[in-house]
Amino acid sequence: MKTVLFVPGFREGLTTRAYKETIKAIQSKGYVVKFVPIHWKRTLIQDWVGELDKVYENCDPKNTILAGFSYGAMTAFMSAVQKNPAELWLFSLSPYFSDDMPKMKKSWLSNIGHRRADTFRALDFTELAKSIKCKTLIFVGGVEARKYPLVGNRAEVAHKALQSSKLVVAPSADHDVTDKDYIAAIQQAI
């Protein structure tokens, strides 16, 4: 039985949105799911990865899937660069890598703060993707991709850069891994 380590979105915890519904849907397919809480306040992506890695240390890599939503997907991706999980599931991967940053809205950059923005500018997705050898599922909402073209573009770029990846679009879902259409796409793909 495989374990899924699930990292939430930025500034979110288990009860911020209906994560329990997404977790139940994954569990219904025979997986054990461990929700990985992250301390978002005044921390950077290397801190988030460190928190995920502490949980991951207690797991068998051959039976562990790293998964995350939005910034949680970035966190799972960055952990997978150094580790070798069984699989990687990226739900609405945030577009905060070096090649995304010049296209980023100033309000989005302001929201994350200059220290995080500076850290993200140093992350070259294409270069980092070369280290990912595991099967990868990349999910994005159809509404989300139209509403936030950078998110849709990041999903497409990730799909092209990651060798063993599959791009899954939840047609009527926005940026919400707990949306019923998003959950249905997850259940169908896993």
**Residue range 55-69: mean pLDDT, rounded:** 96
Which spans in the chain are helix H? 19-27, 45-56, 71-82, 106-112, 114-121, 125-129, 142-147, 149-161, 180-189
Q: What is the CATH number of the domain that holds 145?
A: 3.40.50.1820
Containing domain of residue 73, as a range? 3-189
Express each pLDDT in 132-150 by its tens digit.
999 999 999 999 999 999 9
In sequence order, the 6+-apart residues with CB closer than 8 A to the CB of 106 are: none
The pLDDT confidence band at residue 106, using thresholds 50, 70 and 90, is confident
Number of domains forming the structure of the chain: 1
